[in-house]
Amino acid sequence: MKVQIAIDPGASGAIAVRDTEGRVFVDDMPETLRDVWEHIASLIPKQEMVSGRLIYEGRAHDPLCVIEDAGYHVAGNNATASCKFARHCGSLEMALTGLCIPWESVRPQKWMKHFGTLPKEKVDRKRRIKELMQRRYPNIKVTLANADALAILTWAIERETK
């Protein structure tokens, strides 16, 4: 089974993973760039460098990652915060690229559609996603901070099995 990683890229986001055994877990977003790199590197199967490229434990275990494409500046929002968020997203993408982890981005509307009609109001929508993930993963402490990462991972897993 392939390692699947899903990232909700906000500073208060999270990284959700399904490992090679099919176990699902989620961690809060690491605080520093070094922490992000080390955390993502720790999620993937043993690797080695061959001719300047990272090779994982056989092609069957190549990791896959989906990162939420949520960051666009909206007029009226704080430009400094938008810039900081965009830099953080770029850092996550570079960590994945540097670790030779194939990744794709997904707009929130696309993965959310998988879970049916959700409330339009952001606070209500976040609570509903948290509730859905608590039902799906009763062994995980689901929070408002990590629920989206788990939902993105669930969308990616179920999309793959269709």
CATH of the domain at 73: 3.30.420.10
Is 20 within 8 Å of 46 (Cβ atoms)?
no
Task: Find the mean pLDDT for residues 2-19.
Answer: 90
Per-residue confidence band for 70, with pLDDT thresholds at 50, 70 and 90: confident
Tell me how far apart the alpha carbons of residues 122 and 150 are, in angstroms, rounded to a whole number: 17
pLDDT at res. 3: 85
Residue 9 has pLDDT above 60, yes or no: yes
Q: How large is the angle between the packed helices 122-136 and 147-161, nearest 10 degrees?
A: 60
Q: How far apart are CA 127 and CA 51, in angstroms?
A: 47
* pLDDT cut 90: percent of the chain above it: 54
The reported pTM is 0.86
Tell whether the model's pLDDT for residue 60 goes beyond 50.
no
Number of domains into which the chain is organized: 1
Per the structure, the complete domain to which residue 62 belongs is given by 4-161
